[in-house]
């Protein structure tokens, strides 16, 4: 399988939507790493950019990540205590996330619930494969918000946060059975110049005050 090639985004700024003492909210561009990859040409990423902009941050910063091809909302910790608190919220599923996507074809159902276990397809990594025996279970709620002749716009609410979960659940015949448009691993990458998957909603408790926070951004496609 031909590896996914990252475009050069070194001169492209990332958008910071909100700044707190404990964390920042970032709008990650599509085809941009959340955390560093392997090799010197894979070091530019959200975490490195935030570390450069906030040199007084301390401790681990990465709380979660988006697939390199996915765009949208990320929270980045700026302190050890915030990292610990936010990581625990993700682990306990206290964080609510929503994604908007364009899927290939016209989906007849209006909404659905997908539970599929999958694991790394080692010979074709980083691709994942359906694996009901040894795979980790992924759970996704989805709802159609718009249809046309060749595509369907849906909102995903992932209950779990597995790598490639929404992409596998969209494409697999036991899931929705309609790949996300532009998916280089599970669909036809020739249909778009990017993966049509965007994290547009993020909600969690403030690490210090406990107040519920909500962040929304428009979908760029």
Q: Considering only CA atoms, give the Rg of the chain.
A: 17
205 is known as an active-site residue: no
Query: What are the residues whose beta carbons fall under 8 Å from the beta carbon of 91, sequence distance 6 or more?
Result: none
Cα 58 to the center of its chain, rounded Å: 25
Is residue 170 within a helix (H) or strand (E), and if so which, with residue range?
Answer: helix 165-171
- Residues 84, 75, 5, 164: is their CA dihedral positive or negative? positive
Active-site residue, from 67, 148, 183, 193: 67
Whole-number Å distance between alpha carbons of 144 and 109: 8
Catalytic residue list: 67
């Amino acid at each position: 399988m031909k590896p996914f090639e990252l475009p050069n985004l070194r001169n492209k700024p990332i958008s910071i939507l909100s700044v707190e003492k404990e964390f920042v909210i970032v709008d990650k561009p599509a085809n941009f790493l959340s955390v560093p990859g392997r090799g010197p040409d894979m070091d530019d990423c959200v975490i490195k950019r935030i570390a450069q902009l906030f040199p007084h941050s301390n401790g681990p910063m990465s709380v979660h990540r988006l697939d390199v091809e996915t765009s949208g909302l990320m929270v980045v910790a700026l302190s050890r205590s915030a990292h610990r608190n936010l990581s625990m919220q993700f682990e306990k599923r206290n964080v609510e996330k929503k994604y908007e996507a364009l899927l290939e074809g016209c989906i007849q159902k209006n909404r659905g619930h997908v539970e599929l276990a999958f694991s790394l397809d080692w010979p074709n990594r980083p691709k994942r494969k359906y694996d009901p025996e040894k795979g980790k279970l992924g759970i996704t709620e989805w709802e159609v918000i718009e249809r046309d002749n060749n595509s369907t716009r849906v909102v995903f609410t992932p209950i779990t946060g597995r790598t490639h979960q929404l992409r596998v659940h969209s494409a697999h015949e036991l899931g929705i059975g309609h790949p996300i448009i532009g998916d280089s691993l599970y669909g036809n990458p020739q249909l778009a110049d990017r993966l049509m998957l965007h994290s547009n909603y993020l909600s969690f408790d403030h690490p210090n005050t406990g107040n519920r926070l909500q962040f929304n951004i428009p979908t760029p496609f």
